Amino acid sequence: MENKKSDNILIFTIFALLVFGLVMITSAGVVYSQSRFGDQYYFFKRQLFYGIIPGFIACYLCQKIDYHYWKKISVPLFFISLILLVLVFVPGIGSRLYGASRWLQLGPISFQPSEMAKLSIIIYLAAWLESRGTKRIKDFFEGFLPFVGILALVGFLIIKQPDMGTLGVIVITMLAMFFSSGSKLSHLFWMAIGGIASFFMLIKLAPYRLNRLLIFLNPEMDPKGIGYHINQALIAVGSGGILGLGLGHSRQKFYYLPEPVGDSIFAVLAEELGLLGSVALVMLFLLFALRGLKIARSASDDFGKLLGIGITSWVIFQAFINICAITSIIPLTGVPLPFISYGGTSIVFLLAGVGILLNISKQAKLE
């Protein structure tokens, strides 16, 4: 028996996350919006009209398209993403901001290729893993080495930007899919060893990464210098207490906390809504994880299972990395909080991924 309706609980969860995000972007960005753009609702309007509305259109179209279609175009989609990741380094096309090349500037429109890459890599890897089958995936030469090659290619383009946070999200998502396809635990072990070695090598190559690690180990080392960001975030989180200071009453958003509508938005949320608001947000992400994994498990074929696992892992791991970084559980790294942080490109591709997940749920085999 097949389900002809989309997963209503998943739809409710996404809607709740988007409302949560719009409310927090309005509150967190009101001061900066007014001072820089002369409009305290600037970020709210941009997120709504350039992120959520196009995202809803993408989600609607993707939930209407049979998810098997994505397998047919997985290879060209993957290569288009790779080309776009290369174009960020081309002068006149790529836009360099704060020492990083992560954006394409097409007239008045800016576009972040790494957000598209997350979804296209998941689609490509789901198709590739299914085509290999469990027996070949377990093989060192047919499964392990080609997978490492794909990982290395994508990783090289992302780290050149540089963007350690996005690289972490992509690597963990790919490993989750590789594990779910039936890979050997020994292969995953050696990849983990290689990953740790690469991590320390990347730290050695860039002093700012070493500084982030040192600040993580000792947040009070340089509170006005390299430790400024994480210390201001921790002040915001700690100030919120159980119930928070109240919506709109954050003090840290008054030019203390860097990127209050971006990567640091969880700190403002924790300050204004307290522990209860933070737990409510985490519970929404956990609900998304449960529904996403249930859809993946009930998918009618291996491609649907792997695609569902990939999309769910992407959202959950990215949320986990953002929240843990802002609360100093892991070293500070720059990834947006899914559905909450400001960013049109991120919202559009996240909602496109949700649309694919909803189409998988419509074709799921129910017990």
pLDDT tens for the 367 residues of the chain, in order: 455 677 899 999 999 999 999 999 999 989 888 888 888 899 999 999 999 999 999 999 999 999 999 999 999 999 999 999 998 888 777 776 655 667 787 766 778 889 999 999 999 999 999 999 888 999 988 989 999 999 999 999 998 887 888 999 999 999 999 999 988 888 988 888 888 888 778 777 777 777 777 777 777 776 777 788 888 999 999 999 999 999 989 999 898 888 889 889 999 999 999 999 999 999 999 999 999 999 999 998 999 999 999 999 999 999 999 999 999 888 888 789 999 999 889 999 999 999 999 999 998 865 4
Distance of CA 276 to the CA centre of its chain: 23
Give pLDDT, residue 98: 59
What's the rounded Cα separation, in Å, for the pair 182 and 194? 20
Across 136-160, b (16+ Cβ under 10 Å) vs e yields ebbeeeebbeebbebbeebbebbbe
Chain mean position to CA 235: 25
Beta strands of 49-180 (E only): which ranges?
94-97, 100-106, 109-111
pLDDT score recorded for residue 201: 82
- What is the Cα Rg of the chain in Å? 20
Which two three-digit tokens encode residue 199?
A: 């991590």
Please report where in the chains the tokens 């300050």 appear, as a residue.
Answer: 271
Q: How far apart are CA 163 and CA 100, in angstroms?
A: 8
Could you tell me if 153 and 82 are in contact, meaning their C-beta atoms sit under 8 angstroms apart? yes
DSSP secondary structure letter of residue 49: I
- Give the per-residue pLDDT at 110: 76
Quick check: 322 and 335 in contact, CB under 8 A? yes
Residue 3 has what pLDDT? 56
Tokens representing 110 are 């800016």
Residue with tokens 């909450």, as numbered in its chain: 340
The length of the chain, given as a count of residues: 367
Alpha carbons 274 and 314: distance in angstroms, whole number: 26
Q: Residue for token digits 């959202």? A: 315
Phi-psi region of 255 (alpha: psi -120 to 50; beta: other; left: phi over 0): left
Cα 100 from Cα 88, distance rounded (Å) = 10
pLDDT of the residue at 2: 52
